[in-house]
Amino acid sequence: MNELLDEQGHLKTAQGLYRQRQLLLPQPSFPADGLTKLEWRLVRYLDMLTRAGYAEETPAKPPAAFVAVAVACLRDNAQGLQHGLAVAEAEPGLLEAVFDAFGLFPPAALDTELEALYQNKESLRLALLTHYHRLGQPLPQGLLAHAESQDKQPELQAAALRYAADRPEFSGERFPPYYRAEHAEVQQAALWGGLLRKDPDAKTALRAALEHAQDKDSGALLRLLALAGEADDFPILERYAEHNPAAGLPLLALYGRQSIVPALLAALDNPASAEPAAAAWQTVFGEALPVKPRLAVVEGDSQQAVEEGGALPDSAAARAHWQQVQARWSAEARWLDGRAMTPTALAERAAAQAGAAGADALALLALINPGTAVPHPQAWQHRRHTALQPLLSAVSAQPEPEVRHA
């Protein structure tokens, strides 16, 4: 009876930890160390479930599917693969959880099985390609070529181009034919592939795409423009930040050139844009600004400022800080976290930050250090650290989680 209660407790904890990880990954920013500790706890509970003999054949929800497949892979790699594929075929909505388990405990025969599943299950093709991208493993050439050729399935085509863009072994020749694609996701994926390969035509096509983009697509294109960081493109990003501070100021921080400082200071002076400006300031300079009371002018015999509640970032402190560091910032450099964007600095930020902040650091690293195969933003933390280790100067590699097989 106690053993059954222990197993149920371990199961509930493991599913809860996986659910917590899924909620954390899309967040704007949080320390990667916390995510690493969460993942190590999850692995320990999976190991305990494996040794306790836990098994579930028909999981109905993603946390249950993840735990069932991960435990099956731990117990028997080959059977775990077959169990995971059976779960995915029975309920396509569980494919992400299945692939998360495969990403943590990769089955040896995954390539062969996935190619067969892709050929036989058309409804799973997009999800398979998307999640195989997340695993960061080589994709069978025939599968990739088929997906890229699907003009009548632009979502599948875009997934193939995103995968190819992030793999340095693919040349830049495959991307230009899609620079002016009608489907926004196809175009964006191709432009990203061209930018990573320093194709000057990609930058020209990106600016042209922005001129004709619908509002719903402009944000993604502007992010590419900010990542590329060309000096001549600052006015475009500045105008966007003026009209949409919440979305535009983070892009200025991503752009990271000295020309952004007057725009950030002006935004800090405006209560309506002060908070996103302060967040952008911290991204660029690596320090949070102090706050000051929010004041309101009261009309009367003599005007006076009184506190109206709340606080605002202190723009005077920002100006003082800028005076201190300005001489260290060359006109050519791009800054992030209070220092120039170098491969080592970006790798350290990617290792230290999870969420969107970590994803941005990985994207910048891929651009600034051509030919680098960066890990997917949603990769398990020990795999992210292993991939980044050659560029890290002070962050230790994360060892593989130790598990004991049943």
- pLDDT of 88 above 70: yes
Bigger pLDDT: 220 or 113?
A: 220
Supply the pLDDT for residue 150. Answer: 81
- DSSP, collapsed to helix, strand or coil, labels residue 314 as coil
Taking alpha carbons only, the member of 277, 279, 232, 278 closest to residue 259 is 232
End-to-end Cα spacing for the chain = 21
The mean-pLDDT minimum among 143-157, 195-209, 330-344 falls in 143-157
Supply the pLDDT for residue 1. Answer: 44
Could you give the percent of the chain with pLDDT greater than 70?
Answer: 91
| 257 strand-pairing partners | 334
What is the residue whose two structure tokens read 């598990």?
Answer: 403
**CA–CA separation, 349 vs 368, rounded Å?**
14
Structure tokens at 137: 């493993």
Taking alpha carbons only, the member of 172, 169, 163 closest to residue 143 is 163
Supply the pLDDT for residue 401. Answer: 58
What would the pLDDT profile of 110-141 be if each residue is shown by its tens digit? 777 888 888 888 888 888 888 888 888 777 77
- pLDDT of 301 above 70: no
- pLDDT of 315 above 60: yes
Taking alpha carbons only, the member of 240, 202, 200, 194 closest to residue 219 is 240
| pLDDT confidence band for 299 (50 / 70 / 90) | low
Residue 62, φ and ψ in degrees, nearest 5: -55, -45
Supply the pLDDT for residue 121. Answer: 83
Supply the pLDDT for residue 304. Answer: 45
Supply the pLDDT for residue 58. Answer: 83
What is the pLDDT averaged over residues 146-159?
A: 88
The mean-pLDDT minimum among 48-57, 202-211, 302-311, 358-367 falls in 302-311
**CA–CA separation, 363 vs 165, rounded Å?**
11
- pLDDT of 305 above 60: no
Task: State the DSSP code for 327.
Answer: G
Instruction: Kindly give, in sequence order, each residue whose CB lies less than 8 Å from that of residue 23, ignoring residues fewer than 6 positions away.
Output: none
What would the pLDDT profile of 223-271 be if each residue is shown by its tens digit? 999 999 999 999 999 999 999 999 999 999 999 999 999 999 999 999 9
Q: Which helix (H) or strand (E) holds 343?
A: helix 343-352
Burial category of 215 from C-beta neighbours within 10 Å (exposed 0-12, middle 13-18, buried 19 and up): exposed
Q: Answer yes or no: are the C-beta atoms of 62 and 84 closer than 8 Å.
A: no
The mean pLDDT value of the chain amounts to 88
Bigger pLDDT: 69 or 113?
A: 69
- pTM (predicted TM-score): 0.89
**CA–CA separation, 173 vs 127, rounded Å?**
26
Q: Answer yes or no: are the C-beta atoms of 351 and 395 closer than 8 Å.
A: yes
Taking alpha carbons only, the member of 193, 151, 196 closest to residue 176 is 193
What is the residue whose two structure tokens read 């300031």?
Answer: 281
Angle at 30 between CA 274 and CA 317, to 5 degrees: 30
What would the pLDDT profile of 283-295 be if each residue is shown by its tens digit? 999 999 999 887 6
Alpha-helix residue ranges (DSSP H) falling in 270-389:
274-285, 315-325, 343-352, 355-368, 381-388
